[in-house]
Amino acid sequence: MAVVQDDSEFRYLPIQAQALGTPVPSAERIALTLPDGRVLSALLFGHGEPEVTLLHGAGLNAHTWDAVALLIGRPVLAIDLAGHGDSSWRDDLDYSPALLADDVAHAMTARTSRPQVLIGHSLGGLTASIVASEHPELVRELVLVDIVPGLDTDAAPAILRDFYAVTDFASRDDATDRAQAFGFGGSRPDTERGVFFNTRVRADGRVEWKHHFAHIIGSAFDSLKAAHAASGTDPWTPLESVSVPVTLVRAERGFLQDADVAAFTEHLPEATVVTVDAGHNVQETAPAALAAIATGALIRGTR
Protein backbone atom coordinates (compact mmCIF):
# COMPACT_ATOMS: atom_id res chain seq x y z
CA MET A 1 0.00 0.00 0.00
CA ALA A 2 1.42 3.40 -0.97
CA VAL A 3 1.96 6.01 1.71
CA VAL A 4 1.63 9.78 1.71
CA GLN A 5 4.92 11.54 2.42
CA ASP A 6 4.91 13.92 5.39
CA ASP A 7 7.82 16.37 5.29
CA SER A 8 7.12 18.21 8.53
CA GLU A 9 9.05 15.90 10.83
CA PHE A 10 11.06 18.72 12.46
CA ARG A 11 7.95 20.71 13.40
CA TYR A 12 8.39 19.95 17.09
CA LEU A 13 12.08 20.88 17.37
CA PRO A 14 11.66 24.64 18.04
CA ILE A 15 9.04 23.93 20.73
CA GLN A 16 11.30 21.37 22.42
CA ALA A 17 14.31 23.69 22.20
CA GLN A 18 12.36 26.52 23.81
CA ALA A 19 11.19 24.25 26.63
CA LEU A 20 14.74 22.99 27.23
CA GLY A 21 16.36 26.40 26.88
CA THR A 22 18.62 25.36 24.01
CA PRO A 23 19.27 26.76 20.54
CA VAL A 24 17.52 25.14 17.60
CA PRO A 25 20.20 23.18 15.72
CA SER A 26 20.30 22.42 12.04
CA ALA A 27 18.61 19.08 11.42
CA GLU A 28 18.23 16.93 8.34
CA ARG A 29 17.23 13.43 7.34
CA ILE A 30 19.85 11.43 5.47
CA ALA A 31 19.83 8.01 3.84
CA LEU A 32 22.48 5.38 3.16
CA THR A 33 22.04 2.56 0.65
CA LEU A 34 23.35 -0.66 2.18
CA PRO A 35 25.21 -3.36 0.21
CA ASP A 36 22.04 -5.47 -0.14
CA GLY A 37 20.05 -2.53 -1.52
CA ARG A 38 18.13 -1.69 1.65
CA VAL A 39 18.08 1.90 2.85
CA LEU A 40 19.18 2.95 6.33
CA SER A 41 17.77 6.31 7.34
CA ALA A 42 19.08 8.65 10.03
CA LEU A 43 18.92 12.16 11.44
CA LEU A 44 21.87 14.56 11.57
CA PHE A 45 21.77 17.31 14.18
CA GLY A 46 24.21 20.24 14.15
CA HIS A 47 27.00 21.29 11.84
CA GLY A 48 30.18 19.28 11.38
CA GLU A 49 31.09 15.64 11.81
CA PRO A 50 29.00 13.71 14.36
CA GLU A 51 30.57 13.14 17.76
CA VAL A 52 27.73 11.09 19.27
CA THR A 53 25.76 8.27 17.63
CA LEU A 54 22.39 7.22 19.07
CA LEU A 55 20.51 3.92 18.63
CA HIS A 56 16.87 3.58 19.70
CA GLY A 57 14.99 0.59 21.11
CA ALA A 58 12.45 -1.76 19.51
CA GLY A 59 9.33 -0.05 18.21
CA LEU A 60 10.87 3.43 18.42
CA ASN A 61 12.78 5.59 15.93
CA ALA A 62 15.54 8.19 15.77
CA HIS A 63 13.25 11.00 16.94
CA THR A 64 13.09 9.44 20.40
CA TRP A 65 16.49 11.13 20.87
CA ASP A 66 15.46 14.67 19.88
CA ALA A 67 15.61 16.10 23.40
CA VAL A 68 18.95 14.40 24.11
CA ALA A 69 20.41 15.78 20.87
CA LEU A 70 19.21 19.29 21.75
CA LEU A 71 20.77 19.10 25.21
CA ILE A 72 24.09 17.70 23.97
CA GLY A 73 24.45 20.67 21.63
CA ARG A 74 27.12 18.98 19.53
CA PRO A 75 26.85 17.19 16.16
CA VAL A 76 24.80 14.02 16.61
CA LEU A 77 23.86 11.10 14.37
CA ALA A 78 20.61 9.32 15.33
CA ILE A 79 19.95 6.18 13.31
CA ASP A 80 16.65 4.51 12.44
CA LEU A 81 17.40 0.82 12.94
CA ALA A 82 16.29 -1.54 10.16
CA GLY A 83 12.53 -1.98 10.17
CA HIS A 84 11.99 1.27 12.08
CA GLY A 85 11.37 4.89 11.18
CA ASP A 86 12.25 5.54 7.55
CA SER A 87 14.66 2.60 7.22
CA SER A 88 13.79 -0.39 5.04
CA TRP A 89 12.03 -3.42 6.47
CA ARG A 90 13.86 -6.75 6.29
CA ASP A 91 12.22 -9.39 4.07
CA ASP A 92 13.53 -12.15 6.36
CA LEU A 93 11.93 -10.50 9.45
CA ASP A 94 15.26 -10.90 11.29
CA TYR A 95 16.00 -7.97 13.55
CA SER A 96 18.62 -9.61 15.72
CA PRO A 97 21.25 -7.25 17.19
CA ALA A 98 24.06 -8.83 15.12
CA LEU A 99 22.36 -7.96 11.83
CA LEU A 100 21.35 -4.52 13.05
CA ALA A 101 24.97 -3.93 14.09
CA ASP A 102 26.19 -4.60 10.55
CA ASP A 103 23.92 -1.83 9.27
CA VAL A 104 25.00 0.57 12.00
CA ALA A 105 28.69 -0.08 11.33
CA HIS A 106 28.14 0.74 7.63
CA ALA A 107 26.43 4.00 8.58
CA MET A 108 29.07 5.01 11.11
CA THR A 109 31.87 4.24 8.67
CA ALA A 110 30.18 6.33 6.00
CA ARG A 111 29.01 9.23 8.17
CA THR A 112 31.54 9.62 11.00
CA SER A 113 35.23 10.41 10.86
CA ARG A 114 36.12 10.05 14.54
CA PRO A 115 35.38 7.49 17.28
CA GLN A 116 31.89 8.08 18.64
CA VAL A 117 30.25 8.19 22.00
CA LEU A 118 27.83 5.38 21.11
CA ILE A 119 24.61 5.32 23.13
CA GLY A 120 22.11 2.50 22.68
CA HIS A 121 18.72 2.08 24.32
CA SER A 122 17.24 -1.39 24.85
CA LEU A 123 17.53 -3.28 21.51
CA GLY A 124 19.78 -0.45 20.36
CA GLY A 125 22.00 -1.09 23.38
CA LEU A 126 22.49 -4.75 22.47
CA THR A 127 23.25 -3.60 18.92
CA ALA A 128 25.70 -0.98 20.17
CA SER A 129 27.55 -3.62 22.23
CA ILE A 130 28.22 -5.65 19.10
CA VAL A 131 29.31 -2.57 17.13
CA ALA A 132 31.77 -1.64 19.89
CA SER A 133 33.03 -5.23 20.08
CA GLU A 134 33.53 -5.77 16.36
CA HIS A 135 34.46 -2.22 15.31
CA PRO A 136 36.44 -0.69 18.20
CA GLU A 137 37.86 1.95 15.86
CA LEU A 138 34.38 3.48 15.57
CA VAL A 139 33.66 3.88 19.30
CA ARG A 140 35.16 6.15 21.96
CA GLU A 141 32.81 5.20 24.80
CA LEU A 142 29.79 2.91 25.02
CA VAL A 143 26.63 3.76 26.96
CA LEU A 144 23.88 1.14 27.45
CA VAL A 145 20.45 2.45 28.42
CA ASP A 146 18.35 0.12 30.60
CA ILE A 147 19.52 -3.09 28.97
CA VAL A 148 22.02 -5.86 29.64
CA PRO A 149 22.72 -9.08 27.68
CA GLY A 150 20.47 -11.97 28.56
CA LEU A 151 17.73 -9.78 30.05
CA ASP A 152 14.44 -11.68 30.27
CA THR A 153 11.90 -9.37 28.67
CA ASP A 154 8.98 -11.81 28.42
CA ALA A 155 6.74 -9.35 30.25
CA ALA A 156 7.34 -6.60 27.70
CA PRO A 157 6.34 -8.60 24.61
CA ALA A 158 3.08 -9.62 26.32
CA ILE A 159 1.81 -6.06 26.60
CA LEU A 160 3.22 -5.14 23.19
CA ARG A 161 1.43 -8.06 21.55
CA ASP A 162 -1.81 -6.74 23.02
CA PHE A 163 -1.06 -3.16 22.03
CA TYR A 164 -0.17 -4.01 18.43
CA ALA A 165 -3.21 -6.22 17.93
CA VAL A 166 -4.47 -3.07 16.16
CA THR A 167 -2.04 -1.73 13.57
CA ASP A 168 -4.02 0.84 11.61
CA PHE A 169 -6.40 3.65 12.54
CA ALA A 170 -8.80 6.20 11.08
CA SER A 171 -6.61 9.01 12.44
CA ARG A 172 -3.53 9.77 14.54
CA ASP A 173 -5.90 10.87 17.31
CA ASP A 174 -7.24 7.31 17.44
CA ALA A 175 -3.70 5.93 17.62
CA THR A 176 -2.92 8.39 20.42
CA ASP A 177 -6.02 7.29 22.32
CA ARG A 178 -4.89 3.66 22.15
CA ALA A 179 -1.35 4.50 23.25
CA GLN A 180 -2.67 6.47 26.23
CA ALA A 181 -5.05 3.66 27.15
CA PHE A 182 -2.04 1.32 27.42
CA GLY A 183 -0.08 3.85 29.49
CA PHE A 184 2.44 4.74 26.77
CA GLY A 185 3.82 8.19 26.09
CA GLY A 186 3.25 10.28 29.22
CA SER A 187 1.23 13.47 28.65
CA ARG A 188 -1.21 13.78 25.77
CA PRO A 189 1.08 16.19 23.84
CA ASP A 190 4.05 13.86 24.35
CA THR A 191 2.01 10.89 23.14
CA GLU A 192 0.78 12.83 20.12
CA ARG A 193 4.36 13.66 19.19
CA GLY A 194 5.46 10.03 19.56
CA VAL A 195 2.54 8.81 17.47
CA PHE A 196 3.31 11.38 14.77
CA PHE A 197 6.87 10.08 14.41
CA ASN A 198 5.89 6.41 14.64
CA THR A 199 3.06 6.41 12.10
CA ARG A 200 2.47 7.16 8.44
CA VAL A 201 -0.60 8.00 6.37
CA ARG A 202 -1.43 5.50 3.65
CA ALA A 203 -2.85 6.46 0.27
CA ASP A 204 -6.28 5.29 1.46
CA GLY A 205 -6.14 7.80 4.32
CA ARG A 206 -5.66 5.22 7.06
CA VAL A 207 -2.86 5.70 9.57
CA GLU A 208 -0.52 2.77 10.30
CA TRP A 209 2.52 2.13 12.47
CA LYS A 210 5.76 2.71 10.55
CA HIS A 211 7.92 0.13 12.30
CA HIS A 212 7.86 -3.48 11.15
CA PHE A 213 7.64 -4.86 14.69
CA ALA A 214 4.05 -3.62 14.96
CA HIS A 215 3.06 -5.83 12.03
CA ILE A 216 5.01 -8.95 13.02
CA ILE A 217 4.83 -8.66 16.79
CA GLY A 218 3.61 -12.23 17.11
CA SER A 219 6.94 -13.52 15.83
CA ALA A 220 9.37 -10.63 16.29
CA PHE A 221 10.50 -11.33 19.85
CA ASP A 222 10.42 -15.07 19.27
CA SER A 223 12.76 -14.53 16.32
CA LEU A 224 15.15 -12.49 18.47
CA LYS A 225 15.30 -15.27 21.06
CA ALA A 226 15.68 -17.94 18.39
CA ALA A 227 18.57 -16.03 16.80
CA HIS A 228 20.34 -15.90 20.14
CA ALA A 229 19.75 -19.60 20.83
CA ALA A 230 21.00 -20.53 17.37
CA SER A 231 24.22 -18.58 17.87
CA GLY A 232 25.26 -20.90 20.69
CA THR A 233 27.34 -18.15 22.28
CA ASP A 234 27.31 -16.55 25.70
CA PRO A 235 25.27 -13.32 25.33
CA TRP A 236 27.85 -11.49 27.44
CA THR A 237 30.77 -12.30 25.10
CA PRO A 238 30.50 -9.23 22.81
CA LEU A 239 30.21 -6.82 25.73
CA GLU A 240 33.06 -8.42 27.67
CA SER A 241 35.35 -7.91 24.67
CA VAL A 242 34.65 -4.18 24.40
CA SER A 243 37.88 -2.29 25.04
CA VAL A 244 36.47 1.22 25.55
CA PRO A 245 34.85 2.59 28.73
CA VAL A 246 31.32 1.27 29.28
CA THR A 247 28.49 2.90 31.24
CA LEU A 248 25.19 1.26 32.14
CA VAL A 249 22.27 3.61 32.74
CA ARG A 250 19.62 1.96 34.90
CA ALA A 251 16.13 3.44 34.97
CA GLU A 252 14.53 3.21 38.40
CA ARG A 253 11.21 2.33 36.76
CA GLY A 254 12.71 0.41 33.87
CA PHE A 255 13.31 -3.20 32.91
CA LEU A 256 16.46 -3.95 34.89
CA GLN A 257 16.33 -5.74 38.22
CA ASP A 258 19.02 -5.82 40.91
CA ALA A 259 20.14 -9.24 39.64
CA ASP A 260 20.64 -7.81 36.13
CA VAL A 261 22.84 -5.01 37.43
CA ALA A 262 24.76 -7.45 39.64
CA ALA A 263 25.44 -9.64 36.60
CA PHE A 264 26.63 -6.59 34.67
CA THR A 265 29.11 -5.57 37.37
CA GLU A 266 30.32 -9.16 37.68
CA HIS A 267 31.04 -9.38 33.94
CA LEU A 268 32.35 -5.81 33.63
CA PRO A 269 33.81 -4.87 37.03
CA GLU A 270 35.47 -1.72 35.68
CA ALA A 271 32.30 -0.35 34.08
CA THR A 272 30.23 2.48 35.51
CA VAL A 273 26.60 2.12 36.62
CA VAL A 274 24.38 5.20 36.82
CA THR A 275 20.83 5.02 38.19
CA VAL A 276 18.36 7.70 37.10
CA ASP A 277 14.80 8.53 38.04
CA ALA A 278 13.15 7.50 34.78
CA GLY A 279 11.09 4.90 32.98
CA HIS A 280 12.57 2.46 30.49
CA ASN A 281 12.70 5.11 27.74
CA VAL A 282 15.24 7.21 29.63
CA GLN A 283 15.91 9.36 26.58
CA GLU A 284 12.33 10.62 26.79
CA THR A 285 11.76 10.72 30.55
CA ALA A 286 15.20 11.93 31.70
CA PRO A 287 17.03 13.27 28.61
CA ALA A 288 19.23 15.62 30.64
CA ALA A 289 20.82 12.65 32.43
CA LEU A 290 21.85 11.02 29.15
CA ALA A 291 23.03 14.33 27.69
CA ALA A 292 25.22 14.85 30.75
CA ILE A 293 26.74 11.38 30.36
CA ALA A 294 27.45 12.02 26.67
CA THR A 295 28.96 15.43 27.42
CA GLY A 296 31.18 13.93 30.11
CA ALA A 297 32.45 11.33 27.65
CA LEU A 298 33.15 14.01 25.05
CA ILE A 299 35.10 16.08 27.58
CA ARG A 300 37.16 13.05 28.62
CA GLY A 301 37.94 12.38 24.98
CA THR A 302 39.54 15.81 24.54
CA ARG A 303 41.92 15.52 27.48
Rg (CA), the chain: 18
Flag whether 132 is in a domain: yes
Flag whether 227 is in a domain: no
Flag whether 126 is in a domain: yes
**H helix or E strand, kind and range, residue 139:** strand 139-145
Question: How many domains in the chain?
Answer: 1
CATH of the domain at 293: 3.40.50.1820
- Domain of 262? 10-153+235-301
Please report which confidence band the pLDDT of residue 4 belongs to, taking 50, 70 and 90 as the band edges: very low
* Per-residue model confidence as pLDDT tens digits over 81-111: 999 999 999 999 889 999 999 999 999 999 9
Q: Residue 22 pLDDT more than 50?
A: yes
Q: Are 203 and 2 in contact (CB under 8 A)?
A: yes
The pair phi, psi for residue 234, each rounded to 5°, is -70, 125
Flag whether 168 is in a domain: no
Flag whether 181 is in a domain: no
Flag whether 219 is in a domain: no
How far is residue 189's CA from residue 57's CA, in Å, rounded to a whole number?
21
Flag whether 201 is in a domain: no
Note the pLDDT of residue 49. 94
How far is residue 254's CA from residue 5's CA, in Å, rounded to a whole number?
34
Query: Is the pLDDT higher at 2 or at 172?
Result: 172
Flag whether 69 is in a domain: yes
How far is residue 295's CA from residue 276's CA, in Å, rounded to a whole number?
16
Query: Residue 51: which of 14, 77, 25 has the closest Cα?
Result: 77
Average of pLDDT values for 142-171?
82
* Per-residue model confidence as pLDDT tens digits over 26-77: 999 999 999 999 999 999 999 999 999 999 998 999 999 999 999 999 999 9
Note the pLDDT of residue 160. 76
